[in-house]
Structure 1
Amino acid sequence: MRNERLRAVMAAGGWTYATLAKEVEVDPKSVERWANLGRTPRRATALQAAEALGEDVHALWPALRQARPARAISPELVALHEQRADIPVSTFVEMMTQASKQIDVLVYAAVFLHEAYPRLNDLLRERAAEGCAVRIAVGDADSSNVQARGQEEQFGHGIESRCRLALMHYRPLIGVPGIEIRTHQTTLYNSLYRADDQLLVNAHVWGVNAYGAPVWHLRRNGEGGMFDTYAASFDAVWETAEPVQQEG
């Protein structure tokens, strides 16, 4: 069965089997089979061809609309915890202790870390001294999003106070080489705790305090997975966050 849409688009743009084949680095006979026999190329090749032709890939090859079968369990999922309160603070500490390249923390406050592990700042200094890049983003207490979270969780001004308390805990780290502290005003969909290729994602639930919300533990497994999605979201928030300056 011929692919009439592909044939029409190629004809309108003056494309031959040879010229399109050269553009997408395949054999001209492959392009001929796409057009005359209705064959569907591999997804990556189809995307490249559609871009060259200036056409929607699904319009050219509708079969590519079919959803890929979902995995019952993601290969990146290490564990799923019903609530953050189920996870001992030692889990967070051990992850950071083992980090050699990168530690990222995105929260509104998460003062439980300092309260349960008073040596947290010393640990972060030690990791930074070993060449680990440390980025901490806490909520701006004056942000409307922080204030809204307090109302949603029936925590009132408590969340704002905890944001200020978190910043007070981290202030001694300002100016330490390898450590950056910033405040952000974004809507916090998830609190993120990253140590190299491991990530704890505290997924927030409307009206539920963070300690009562689920956490999934991810370990990076190649490019483009769940881990990279969350890592990219951290980077996006980080770009909007304001560096905290030393007092005085």
Structure 2
Amino acid sequence: MSIDTATAEVRPIVLKVLLRGRHLQSYRAFCREYDKVAEQVDKTLRGGHPSKAQFYRWLSGHMVGLPYADHCRILEGMLPGWQVEQLFEPHDGGIEFVPEPPSASPELSAPVASEPVSTHANQPSDMVALYAHRANVPKQLWMDLLTGAQERIDLFANASLFLPEDNPEAIQIIKNKAKSGVKIRILLGDPEQPAMELRGKEERLFEGLVGRIRMALAYYRPLVGIDGIDFRLHGTSLYNSVFRYDDQMLVNQHIYGTYGYIAPILHLQKAPEGDLFDTYMKSLNLVWDEEAYDIRDARTEQ
């Protein structure tokens, strides 16, 4: 390890220093301040603070990208003068030295014509991130979205075997969510349908895909008949797997000849000016309403 690398690892990020200077470095204190700022920025964000694990991951600086857009709004409201990108940069001084916001350049201060919120003009406003491969998505993100859902969860896939295999607690979490009033829809492939055999050939998994679906159904079977959980099967040519958690969504693309874990993932968050989130929801709802059937009515082994 080089001296520069070692130095970078021990340097705190700016956010940690600023919160410590305001006595907000504890999770409880931060959440109280988060809600106060949310009242001013957007009352619908009150109570939407990060999980405890997320918060301390922020302070550690071990982040893949930036927090969700709503968190960014609150952080910038909590720490006026700072851009969220600057908050997650290493702090050059010691932990006791609280920095001031960088001075804005004249060019940045000047009024500019209205532009889309996105970084690039052609990037959808409801797009949070793009992962080149499903395997690149942080494991914690799947759990954060699942545990953070308060109203609706939709799991739409052929197998979705990776979710309970990588996260053994996921099935119990889904049960608990249903008990707490979250409306849950699960839509998996019917292994008896020709479309599943065809997809196995297309992905070069052959009969392995049907086997994975049967294994997934064994994992998800305890959710059948639970109040608040509607569990159906489908026999469609699935173009994407859709995992929706309230107003956020992970979309696993399907590419001919490519395994699902290698294909890209879109992370979307519903936005008033965007329609990509709604486009995927329309597709999910169309299959749900016109092609899906209750798992208890299917020919799969019970």
TM-score by length of 2: 0.57
214, 217, 221: which one pairs with 1:164?
Answer: 214
Does structure 1 residue 122 correspond to structure 2 residue 122? Answer: no
CA deviations on 1:136-164 (whole Å, 9 max, x unpaired) are 11111111111111111111100001111
Q: Which residue of 2 aligns with 1:89?
A: 139
Work out whether residues 125 and 274 of structure 2, in 8 Å CA contact, stay in contact via their aligned partners in 1.
no
Q: Give distance in 2, aligned partners of 1:238 and 1:166.
A: 19
222, 233, 244: which one pairs with 1:183?
Answer: 233
Q: Give distance in 1, aligned partners of 2:192 and 2:211.
A: 10
Query: Please, which runs of 5 or more residues in structure 2 have no aligned partner?
Result: 1-119
Greater radius of gyration (CA): 1
244, 261, 271: which one pairs with 1:211?
Answer: 261
292, 296, 299: which one pairs with 1:241?
Answer: 292
AA matched with 1:101:
E
Q: Percent identity?
A: 39
- 1:73 deviation in Å? 1.4
Q: Give distance in 2, aligned partners of 1:135 and 1:89.
A: 22
Structure 2 counterpart SS, 1:211: coil
119, 122, 135: which one pairs with 1:72?
Answer: 122
- 1:224 deviation in Å? 6.2
Structure 1 counterpart SS, 2:227: coil
Q: Give distance in 1, aligned partners of 2:226 and 2:292.
A: 18
Work out whether residues 196 and 209 of structure 2, in 8 Å CA contact, stay in contact via their aligned partners in 1.
yes
User: Counterparts of 1:124-163 in structure 2 under 5 Å?
Assistant: 124-163=174-213
Structure 2 counterpart SS, 1:180: strand
- 1:89 deviation in Å? 2.6
TM-score by length of 1: 0.69
Query: Please, which runs of 5 or more residues in structure 1 have no aligned partner?
Result: 1-69
Q: Point out the more displaced range, 224-233 or 94-103.
A: 224-233
Q: Give distance in 1, aligned partners of 2:203 and 2:240.
A: 15
Work out whether residues 184 and 229 of structure 2, in 8 Å CA contact, stay in contact via their aligned partners in 1.
yes
Runs of 4+ with >6 A deviation: none
Q: Which residue of 1 aligns with 2:79?
A: none
Q: Point out the more displaced range, 223-232 or 162-171.
A: 223-232
Q: Give distance in 2, aligned partners of 1:80 and 1:90.
A: 16
Q: Give distance in 2, aligned partners of 1:223 and 1:238.
A: 26
The alignment's C-alpha RMSD in Å is 1.7
Residues 224 and 79 from structure 1, CA distance in 2 versus in 1: closer, same or farther, beyond 3 angstroms? closer
Does structure 1 residue 227 correspond to structure 2 residue 245? Answer: no
Work out whether residues 103 and 196 of structure 1, in 8 Å CA contact, stay in contact via their aligned partners in 2.
yes
Q: Give distance in 2, aligned partners of 1:148 and 1:234.
A: 20
Work out whether residues 170 and 181 of structure 1, in 8 Å CA contact, stay in contact via their aligned partners in 2.
no
Q: Aligned pairs, how many?
A: 179
AA matched with 2:295:
V
Q: Give distance in 2, aligned partners of 1:152 and 1:199.
A: 25
Work out whether residues 198 and 219 of structure 1, in 8 Å CA contact, stay in contact via their aligned partners in 2.
yes
- 1:230 deviation in Å? 0.4
Residues 95 and 152 from structure 1, CA distance in 2 versus in 1: closer, same or farther, beyond 3 angstroms? same
Work out whether residues 127 and 269 of structure 2, in 8 Å CA contact, stay in contact via their aligned partners in 1.
yes
- 1:222 deviation in Å? 1.7
- 1:88 deviation in Å? 2.6
Residues 223 and 171 from structure 1, CA distance in 2 versus in 1: closer, same or farther, beyond 3 angstroms? farther
